[in-house]
């Protein structure tokens, strides 16, 4: 007879509660263990994997051993990392121990419902990996080792200059000196570094060699690991930027209608003309090739028209970048919707992320259809995406880790170019506003139209403000006049 393990088994029967106690997670819990020398993009991969998982709704957290070590030795010298420096070795071991123990607690904490933890450290010796593997095994957690190997010196140096000199270890130090110290630190690690080899073939691991040009995947034992590997395989660590823009103001924007496939307005056309110079102003390194992505709707294609003509950049149209489908509400104004479908209007405010328009889509649906886009974005280098408000919110949330309950309420103004640059310790964001007026299409929760429902009361208002603060926290542009109440937008259409 089949043996029984506690995990996925229903509780014994006989009682009427046969099925009640059994609603349990059928996901395995995984500890992703990063392996590799410094400046191989480990933190970048760890951070990205965490954001990706959160974006698709899987609770994930990065445990960075460096952070634990830093709390004791904020800015150590390279000699600290010499394997013969016993004091350094002891402290690094202590840091790893506290990180692993915090991680296991996080998995077992009912509140965090942890599914994937990412242990970000060099984990460069077999001994260390064995120790982690056993710790996890004893706590009933699967391990997935992810090793990044790179012998392209230029790429490593580039990574050091781009990324490591921003690292908390070198805050406020001369970048040149910092880079030099960092190379020394790497040499110390190299002395003790052991790559994952056949003696460790019982482990589940992925080896990424030279930015994924060769990938070795060993002993994948569950679906979630395969999905993670799939994601990681799409990543690269070359420096690049991604630009996001909504389409220029459309004719529907002017009349307050949602959805549809209208042309851009005169002001929208002005934005389209200004886009090439706005892009230049945002800082494009010389000889950079950028690919333009648009949706298949007229307003984004028209917005990118001049950019393509002036630069000659390649352009791709994606159906997946089309605006959230508002089903029966397509081409209606917010007032018409509130009139015709009052219940829907309210249901949407209550849970905007999951609300699905009749015959249309929800934000959750959009995230699912954007999956190929995200994978393709990760594989690409410089890309400018001209798309729509709801889609842009979803893509933006992926890069900046905006939680699901906030992302549908974020404000993304028209005629503004957002530049995102992935860094090891997060995504850097800059916004560039074209000096071309446009209507605002942002609608706060509970707002029917502009000032009529204003002010919001109590909790609801606070939630709106939370959303705004989170939004400003990651950005560099100020708010529009909404909070101060000075310039309430004239048209405040029911935005997607």
Partner 1 sequence: MDTLLTAEIVANSPQFRRKSSIFVDAIHDLPEKADLAPAQLYSTESGRLFHSGRIVIITVGLPARGKTHMSVALARYLRWLGVKTRIFHLGDYRRATIPFGEDMPDDYFYVNATASSVLLRQKIVRKCREDIYHFLNHENGQIAIYDAVNPLASGRRSLAKEFAKHDIETLFIESWCDDEKIIEENVRRVKISSPDYVSWTPEDAVQHYLTRISSRIPQFQTMEEKDLNYIKMINAGERLIVNNRSFGYLSNRIVFYLLNLHIKSRRTYFARAGVSVDADSYKADASLSDQGEDYAKKMTECLMAHRESEKQAMIDRGESGYELRPLKVWTSTRRRTVETARYLYERGYKVRQRSQMSQLNPGVCEKMSEKKIRAEFADEVAKHELDPYHHRYPRAESYHDLAVRLEPIILELEREENDLLIIAHESVLRVLYGYLMACNAADIPFLEFPRDEIIEIIPESYQNEASRIHIPDLPEEIIPASPEDLKIPVPPSGVVSPIQGLGSPPDGQGTPQSGYRTPSGIRTPREPERISQQHVEDVV
Positions marked active-site: 247, 323
15-28 as b/e, with b when 16 or more CB fall inside 10 Å? eeeeeeeeeeeeeb
Instruction: Name the residue nearer to partner 1 (CB basis): 75 or 233.
Output: 233
Residues 6+ apart with CB under 8 A from 4: none
Q: Which is nearer to partner 1, 166 or 317 (CB)?
A: 317
For position 424 contacting partner 1 by CB under 8 A, the verdict is no
List, in sequence order, every beta strand (DSSP E) within 306-425.
315-317, 383-387, 416-423
Q: 36 or 256: whose CB is closer to partner 1?
A: 36
Give the residue, chosen from 226, 277, 288, 487, that forms a contact with partner 1 under the rule CB under 8 A.
226
The length of the chain, given as a count of residues: 496
Residues 354-373 contacting partner 1, CB under 8 A: 356, 358-359, 368-369, 371-372
Residue 485 neighbours by CB distance under 10 Å: 10
Site map (CB under 8 A) of partner 1, residues 24-43, x = contact: x-x-----------------
- Measured CA to CA, the distance from residue 491 to residue 493 in angstroms comes to 6
Asked if 16 is part of the footprint of partner 1 (rule: CB under 8 A), the reply reads: yes
- Binding span for partner 1 by CB under 8 A among 5-13, 102-110, 150-158, 475-483: 5-13
- One residue of 6, 13, 199, 486 binding partner 1 per CB under 8 A: 13
Place of tokens 């630009």: 243
For residue 426, the cross-strand partners are 423
Closest approach, Cβ 164 to partner 1, in A, equals: 26
Please give the residues from 196 up to 215 whose contact with partner 1 meets the rule CB under 8 A. 201, 212-215
Residues in contact with partner 1, counted by CB under 8 A, come to a total of 52
Question: Of 183, 227, 460, 463, which one interacts with partner 1 (CB under 8 A)?
Answer: 227
Strands 383-387 and 214-218: unpaired
Query: From the list 157, 192, 217, 488, which residue makes contact with partner 1 (rule: CB under 8 A)?
Result: 217
Residue 32 β-bridge partners = 118, 144
Which of the stretches 19-27, 61-69, 71-79, 96-104 binds partner 1 when contact is defined by CB under 8 A?
Answer: 19-27
Indicate whether 381 belongs to the interface with partner 1 (CB under 8 A). no
Report helix, strand or coil for 230: helix
Binding map of partner 1 across residues 311-350, x = CB under 8 A, - = no contact: -----xxxxx-x----------------------------
252 is known to lie in a ligand binding site = yes
DSSP 333: B
89 binds partner 1 (CB under 8 A): no
Q: Which stretch binds partner 1 (CB under 8 A): 97-105, 160-168, 218-226, 465-473?
A: 218-226
Which residue among 349, 376, 405, 429 contacts partner 1 (CB under 8 A)?
376
Q: Cβ distance 404 to 421 under 8 Å?
A: no
Sequence-distant (6+) residues with CB within 8 A of 343 are none
Strands annotated E in 318-445: 383-387, 416-423, 426-433
Question: Smallest distance, Å, CB 229 to partner 1?
Answer: 6
For residues 152 and 154, give the distance between their C-alpha atoms in angstroms, rounded to a whole number: 6
**Quick one: residue 335, left, alpha or beta (phi over 0 = left, psi -120 to 50 = alpha)?**
alpha
> Which tokens hold the place of 14?
């006989």
Q: Rounded to whole angstroms, how far apart are CA atoms 345 and 335? A: 10
Q: Toward partner 1, which CB reaches closer, 2 or 172? A: 2
- Residue closer to partner 1 by CB (options 230, 425) is 230
Q: 188 with 124: CB under 8 angstroms? A: no
Residue 7's nearest CA partner among 160, 178, 222 is 222
Phi and psi at residue 493, in whole multiples of 5°? -75, 160
1 belongs to the binding site for partner 1 (CB under 8 A): yes
Q: Are 364 and 294 in contact (CB under 8 A)?
A: no
The pairing of strands 242-246 and 416-423 is: antiparallel
- Report in angstroms how near the CB of residue 233 gets to partner 1 at its nearest: 6
Residue 388 marked ligand-binding: no
Nearer of residues 64 and 204 to partner 1, judged by Cβ: 204
Looking at beta carbons only, is 236 or 273 nearer to partner 1? 236
Of 168, 163, 186, nearest in space to 71 by CA: 168
Binding flag, residue 8, partner 1 (CB under 8 A)? yes
Nearer to partner 1, 319 or 457 (CB): 319
Residue 425 DSSP label:
T
For residue 451, state whether it binds partner 1 (rule: CB under 8 A). no
Residue 248 labelled as part of a binding site: yes
| Contact residues for partner 1, defined by CB under 8 A | 1-2, 4-5, 8-10, 12-13, 16, 18-20, 22-24, 26, 201, 212-220, 222-223, 226-227, 229-230, 233-234, 296, 316-320, 322, 356, 358-359, 368-369, 371-372, 375-376, 379
Q: Which residues are part of a known binding site for substrate? A: 246-253, 299
């Amino acid at each position: 007879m089949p043996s029984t393990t506690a995990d996925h088994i229903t509780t014994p029967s006989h009682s009427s509660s046969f099925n009640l106690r059994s609603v349990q997670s059928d996901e395995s819990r995984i500890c992703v263990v990063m392996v590799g020398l410094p400046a191989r993009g480990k933190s970048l991969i760890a951070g990205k994997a965490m954001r990706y998982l959160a974006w698709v709704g899987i609770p994930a957290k990065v445990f960075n051993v460096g952070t634990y070590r830093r709390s004791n030795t904020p800015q150590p010298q390279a000699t600290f990392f010499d394997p013969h420096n016993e004091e350094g070795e002891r402290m690094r071991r202590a840091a790893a121990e506290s990180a692993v123990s915090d991680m296991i607690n996080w998995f077992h904490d009912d509140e965090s419902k942890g599914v994937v933890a990412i242990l970000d450290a060099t984990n460069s010796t077999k001994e260390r990996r064995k120790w982690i593997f056993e710790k996890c095994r004893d706590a009933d957690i699967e391990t997935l080792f992810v090793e990044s190997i790179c012998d392209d010196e230029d790429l490593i140096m580039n990574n050091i200059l781009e990324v490591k000199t921003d690292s908390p270890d070198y805050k406020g130090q001369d970048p040149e000196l910092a880079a030099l110290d960092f190379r020394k630190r790497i040499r110390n690690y190299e002395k003790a570094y052991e790559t994952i080899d056949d003696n460790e073939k019982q482990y589940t691991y992925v080896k990424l060699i030279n930015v994924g040009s060769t990938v070795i995947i060993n002993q994948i034992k569950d679906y979630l690991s395969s999905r993670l590997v799939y994601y990681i395989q799409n990543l690269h660590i070359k420096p690049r930027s991604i630009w996001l823009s909504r389409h220029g103001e459309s004719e529907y924007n002017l009349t307050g209608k949602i959805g549809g496939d209208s042309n851009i307005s005169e002001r929208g056309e002005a934005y389209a003309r200004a886009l090439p110079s706005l892009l230049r102003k945002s800082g494009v390194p010389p000889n950079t090739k950028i690919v333009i992505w648009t949706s298949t709707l007229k307003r984004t294609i028209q917005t990118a028209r001049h950019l393509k003509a002036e630069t000659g950049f390649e352009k791709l149209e994606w159906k997946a970048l089309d605006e959230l489908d508002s089903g029966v509400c397509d081409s209606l104004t917010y007032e018409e919707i509130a009139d015709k479908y009052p219940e829907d209007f309210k249901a949407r405010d209550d849970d905007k992320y999951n609300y699905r328009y009749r015959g249309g889509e929800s934000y959750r649906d959009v995230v699912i259809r954007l999956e190929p886009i995200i994978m393709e974005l990760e594989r690409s280098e410089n890309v400018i995406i001209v798309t729509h408000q709801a889609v842009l919110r979803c893509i933006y949330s992926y890069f900046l880790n905006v939680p699901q309950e906030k992302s549908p309420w974020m404000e993304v103004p028209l005629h503004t170019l957002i530049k995102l640059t992935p860094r090891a310790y997060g995504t850097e964001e800059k916004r560039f506003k074209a000096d071309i007026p446009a209507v605002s299409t942002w609608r706060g929760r509970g707002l029917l139209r502009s000032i009529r429902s204003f002010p919001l009361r109590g909790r609801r208002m606070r939630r709106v403000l939370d959303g705004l603060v989170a939004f400003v926290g990651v950005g560099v542009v100020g708010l529009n006049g909404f909070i101060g109440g000075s310039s309430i937008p004239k048209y405040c259409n029911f935005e997607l």
